[in-house]
Amino acid sequence: MAGRTPTDSSPELEIKVQPRLSDPHPLAPPPGRRHHPAPPPSRPPPEAYQPFKKWLPLLVPTIVVANVVLFVVAMYINDCPHNSQKCLGAKTLGRFAFQDTHTNPLLGPSATTLVRMGALEAKKVVDENQAWRLVTCMWLHAGVFHILPNMLSLLFVGIRLEQEFGYLRIGLLYIISGIGGSLLSSLFVRTTISVGASGALFGLLGGMLSELLTNWTIYADKLTALMTLILIIVINLAVGILPHVDNFAHFGGFISGFLLGFVLLIHPQFGWVSQQTAPPGYYGAKAKSKYKLYQYVLLVISLLLVVAGFTYGLILLLRGVDGNEYCSWCRHLSCIPTPLWTCEARCKVMDSGTLSNQVGNQVKLTCLGNGKSKSYMLSNGNNTSAIQQLCSQLCSKCWVLTNKDLVGAEQQK
């Protein structure tokens, strides 16, 4: 008997084999390919390194608001319509009207008002022991054209720094740099008053430069960042040779901020941060130093220079030393006369550079620009603005100009 053959309708038997749970390759590799065992599982990598913690910027906007509020208060105290004959915007602004442009071309209050509120005046610091003016002057501004660029610059530079380093370190950098600018300015600018935040702003720029240098290894495009920052600093310092710009405050603030940047704006090195975030034992038992050796060296040297510089500068200032007597060419750091402009007059009062040697209300002025000397009788021997106007007449075409912050001669009433 012939055997039967299966037909298409015959049922088929399927056998399914479940892979073992421990089998890392449940599916067979395609024909022609060799089976490669999976590599052993590795340790999880450490968390991604972030060079700085992102801070919420609160201090810098607060400083901006404080400066604007104080400017409004200064305009209220100034009350130009009540105290002066010529004002700008008296009908519209009332007591907030600006002094006329002859008195204050920056659209702001009179020098008298600024002195009352704490403007820097070397004579008052030396003779009346009002060293607090070194701090208060950085919160005052001479006018709208003075406060507007300063506050915009502060927002542009300060917010980025506060986001990276926090309010405490940036606050210290801002305040100490501002004092450094005021200190150097008061040693060389003896016959005018000074207000403004320019010294503190240049301190932030100086801090950015030293921060780049001390944290050099964490930057990718180092040379481009360095050259860009140096160009910005050089341009801003070059503006200081123009009329009505106090470059002494700029230099003082920049040098202070540059040194403080090595102290306050230092980042830990990558290896130390990685150890802090990695699982125990990931990098072995050897501990990494938090900072590199060169960072420690720069920190110590800079801290010593800041302490020594501020101490020596304060001693010179409180003793009434006039820096112009020991550095005759230094006045060109603040203004360089050209055919396009002249510079604000600077004079030595008597022989010591202070008002202490005045005879009654008589004062002798010597122009530092042309060497001319002359004696004058004053109704008020302590009137700094009157002395400045006489100095301008004596020096004639020897005017030395300043912006941070120098305000012109006080209005004569």
Decide if 267 is catalytic: no
Which residue type, as a one-letter code, is found at position 240? Answer: G
The catalytically annotated residue of 198, 210, 334, 385 is 198
**CA–CA separation, 101 vs 80, rounded Å?**
12
Condensed to tens digits (0 to 9), the pLDDT of residues 110-131 reads 888 999 999 998 889 988 889 9
94, burial (CB in 10 Å: exposed 0-12, middle 13-18, buried 19+):
middle
Residues of the chain above pLDDT 70, percent: 66
Domain 59-270+291-324 is classified in which CATH homologous superfamily?
A: Rhomboid-like (1.20.1540.10)
Q: Would you say 158 and 109 are in contact if contact means Cβ atoms under 8 Å apart?
A: no
Task: Kindly report which listed range (33-47, 90-104, 141-155, 291-305) carries the lowest average pLDDT score.
Answer: 33-47
The catalytically annotated residue of 250, 256, 334, 392 is 250
**370-385 per-residue burial string, b: 16 or more CB within 10 A, e: under 16:** eeeeeebeeeebebbb
Decide if 141 is catalytic: no
Per-residue pLDDT, 70? 96
Closest CA to 333 of 404, 234, 206, 248: 248
Question: Where in the chain do CATH 1.20.1540.10 domains reside?
Answer: 59-270+291-324
Residue 304 or residue 371, greater confidence: 304
What backbone torsions phi and psi does residue 402 show, to the nearest 5 degrees? -150, 140
Most confident of 64-73, 78-87, 108-117, 384-393: 64-73
Condensed to tens digits (0 to 9), the pLDDT of residues 211-259 reads 988 888 777 777 887 888 888 888 877 776 666 677 899 999 999 999 9
Per-residue pLDDT, 90? 86
- Coil/strand/helix, residue 87: strand
Q: Answer whether residue 133 shows pLDDT above 50.
A: yes
Q: Answer whether residue 367 shows pLDDT above 90.
A: no
Q: Answer whether residue 21 shows pLDDT above 60.
A: no
Q: Answer whether residue 401 shows pLDDT above 60.
A: no
Per-residue pLDDT, 186? 92
Q: Which residue reads 């024909």 in tokens?
A: 31
> 350: pLDDT confidence band, cut at 50, 70 and 90?
low
Q: Which residue reads 């915009």 in tokens?
A: 152
| Average pLDDT of the chain, as a whole number | 77
Residue 8 or residue 187, greater confidence: 187
Q: How far is CA 31 from CA 18, 27, 35, 140, in A?
A: 21, 12, 10, 83
